Structure 1
Amino acid sequence: MRSALCALGAAAALVLLPAGHARAEGQEPDRDFTIEDSRITESSGLAASRVHPGIYWTHNDQDAPLIYGIDSRTGKTVATLTMAGVGTPRDMEAIAVGPDGDLYVGDIGDNLDGSWDHVWIYRFPEPKTLKDQTVAAKQYVVKYADGARNAEALMVHPKTGRVYIASKNEDGGGLYAGPERLSSSGTNVFRRVDEVPWVTDGAFSPDGERLVLRGYFSAQEYTWKDGRLGGEGTAVGAPFQGQAESVTYTPDGSALMFGSEGRNSRVVRVERAGVEPPSKKPTEAPGGAPKSPSVTPAGGGENGNVTVGFLVLAGATVLVVGLKRLLRKG
């Protein structure tokens, strides 16, 4: 059944246009890439390395304690990390990098919407060398002040180090703040501090001034003020993806990287509106005149494909959610 769901999402994605987001693969870091590792079939979280330029950490939505380092230049796995000291994960859904240089992994999924009275966060230093290795991880017990729930988004503020979780509910979820410092010896109670839409992942900008939350069809970027969302948020041009599960900022904060589940899943870069990469300079045409970037105009046929693609994706997502519910009931 799981393979059928992946195939359904992939079929929907095939009819969708990149809508101007796509970049050439294998040329520069932090551009579009395809995850080539056949072991990664359910990439459910994404985090940009702070130690190794161009490397993105991800993991499967399953019970193996494995984290994969993917080179965005090639799409190839350059490191496989095995977490030791954390037991058997249940439903890993998110990954983030903290200001301390540690990787935080959220084993926070609960497809039965509250069947587990606690979930876990795993934490370990980002390795200095890229190779297959075992890493010693700390395990933190997490409970919600208002009862158990399903979640797929874990965010670590890049300045304060505070951990946040966004619960997942199609009618709207909650944003939960953890204690100022996580404790590995007791229970960490997360308290609801704000309301969020239907969320499958989220990430803080590197400067800590923005928070992006994505769902199956869209993404919103919010200002971050006094530990809460500022305003209603601004829509981000998220790409259409078969099973939209992950998002992170590039290390320089100039763009967002969107990922999805599925074999050979694609990670797509989307520029942030009004933000220029620090190293980006305008190209010049002969004679010194600035050269405008070339844009291929979309004709009527392309617009039609986008509309059809959106409808197919919408139908596919409804089927995916419906089938998952049936599986839970069964």
Structure 2
Amino acid sequence: MGDVLIKMFAAAVVTCALFPTPAQAAILAPTQASRSDDDAQEKLFTIKDPRIAESSGLAVSPTHPDVYYTHNDSGAGPVFYALGPNGRTKATFRLRGAESRDWEAMAATKDPKTGRGVLWFADIGDNMDGAWPDVSIYRVMEPTVLKDATLPAVRYRFRYSGGGRNAEGIMINPRTGRLYVVSKEFSGSVYIAPKQLRTSGINILRKVGDAPIMATDAAYAPDGSSYVIRTYFSATLYRPSGEMITRVSMPELHQAESIAYAPDGKALLTGSEGLNSPVYRVPIPSRARPVRASPSSTPSARPVADTAAADRGSGLTGRGLVIWIAAALGAVALITFIARRTR
């Protein structure tokens, strides 16, 4: 039985590499990511705190100017950090009533009724692609004072309608308040949460579209006019309908794990895991920036209605293609070695 499973897995790897699905074929297609006509990529700061060794989520404060939030990956506890514009930690916050199994993403929004900032932390990592019966996302009111503190958290539990997934991206549509989860897979997906989240029982995540291969983060623009999905190699902008706008070249990073919009929506911020990791500002090309909508325009509640457009939005750079092929060949070699040892 073990040999059969190994051979089946090997065949799947080879099939993905040689005969990709439409989404994967779009990824392998030679396309050129957009570069800004207005400005160049710039390093905003370097994260100085030695406790932040695996920065996995990034968000801009909705209420504190020049303040950025981040958190570590798994094994660091339910803790997040407020960083200043120089990359130094201004405050450390621990969540009460929260766990940290595998935190992979965060988002920041503003409560339209009170004007208070709201922070979301996603414990959605699952490297076994379905080992956990459910995943959790925590809602926290943004602290009004940037001073070390313990904050109460509201926990929402989720389950995917099609079975467990590994995921590393969440985003909140600021126009509708709707929460979305983006899975990290070779055939990734965008999932929508219920309009009304409940703290008792399980909230079901429904697939509404496809996502680029191995998505590591996602974010909605501050005005809700677009959203971005990050991969290890590039970032792709979409309209709320799911139509691709453009791809944006990203700086080469050790392990690109996070992305967010700048407060004015004219640039993207991206970070990486590792000690002394940098955070870059990457301008969005002028032609891809939002045009002010007319008063009669109606926002979309579903971010990915056109899944074909989402497929076309996936892409790798030439360097990414080399990595893809090398990974496939390496996987086949490893499988072959294991198969021989288990005969």
Q: Could you tell me the TM-score, scaled by structure 1's length?
A: 0.74
What is the 5 A alignment of 1:35-54?
A: 35-54=47-66
Q: Residues 252 and 43 from structure 1, CA distance in 2 versus in 1: closer, same or farther, beyond 3 angstroms?
A: same
Residue of 47, 72, 91 corresponding to 2:102 = 91
Match of 2:197 in 1: 182
CA shift at 1:311, angstroms?
Answer: 7.9
- Deviation per CA, 1:240-263, whole angstroms, max 9, x where unpaired? 111010000011111100101000
CA distance in structure 2 between the aligned counterparts of 1:98 and 1:159, rounded to whole angstroms: 10
Contact preservation (8 Å) 2:48, 2:276: yes
CA distance in structure 2 between the aligned counterparts of 1:159 and 1:22, rounded to whole angstroms: 29
Match of 1:66 in 2: 79
CA distance in structure 1 between the aligned counterparts of 2:47 and 2:266, rounded to whole angstroms: 22
Match of 1:147 in 2: 163
CA distance in structure 2 between the aligned counterparts of 1:145 and 1:99, rounded to whole angstroms: 28
Contact preservation (8 Å) 1:254, 1:275: no
CA shift at 1:209, angstroms?
Answer: 1.0
CA shift at 1:237, angstroms?
Answer: 1.8
What is the 5 A alignment of 1:285-324?
A: 310=319, 314=323, 318=327
CA distance in structure 1 between the aligned counterparts of 2:327 and 2:52, rounded to whole angstroms: 24
- Deviation per CA, 1:200-259, whole angstroms, max 9, x where unpaired? 00000001010100100111001113xxx1x23411121111101000001111110010
What is the 5 A alignment of 1:201-280?
A: 201-225=217-241, 229=242, 231-274=243-286
CA shift at 1:99, angstroms?
Answer: 3.2
Are 1:78 and 2:90 an aligned pair? yes
Are 1:132 and 2:157 an aligned pair? no
Match of 2:129 in 1: 113
Contact preservation (8 Å) 2:229, 2:235: yes
Gaps of 5+ in 1: 1-18, 24-30, 278-306
Q: Residues 179 and 312 from structure 1, CA distance in 2 versus in 1: closer, same or farther, beyond 3 angstroms?
A: closer
State the identity %.
44
Q: Residues 116 and 276 from structure 1, CA distance in 2 versus in 1: closer, same or farther, beyond 3 angstroms?
A: closer
Contact preservation (8 Å) 2:233, 2:320: no
CA shift at 1:51, angstroms?
Answer: 1.1
- Deviation per CA, 1:118-170, whole angstroms, max 9, x where unpaired? 00001110011111100000111110111111000010111211100011112
Q: Residues 313 and 264 from structure 1, CA distance in 2 versus in 1: closer, same or farther, beyond 3 angstroms?
A: farther
Runs of 4+ in 1 over 6 A off after TM superposition: none
The alignment of Structure 1 onto Structure 2 pairs a total of residues equal to: 263
Q: Residues 208 and 312 from structure 1, CA distance in 2 versus in 1: closer, same or farther, beyond 3 angstroms?
A: closer
Residue of 180, 183, 192 corresponding to 1:167 = 183
CA distance in structure 2 between the aligned counterparts of 1:313 and 1:216, rounded to whole angstroms: 13
CA distance in structure 2 between the aligned counterparts of 1:21 and 1:35, rounded to whole angstroms: 21
Q: Could you tell me the TM-score, scaled by structure 2's length?
A: 0.71
Contact preservation (8 Å) 2:105, 2:121: yes
Query: 1:173 is aligned with what amino acid?
Result: G
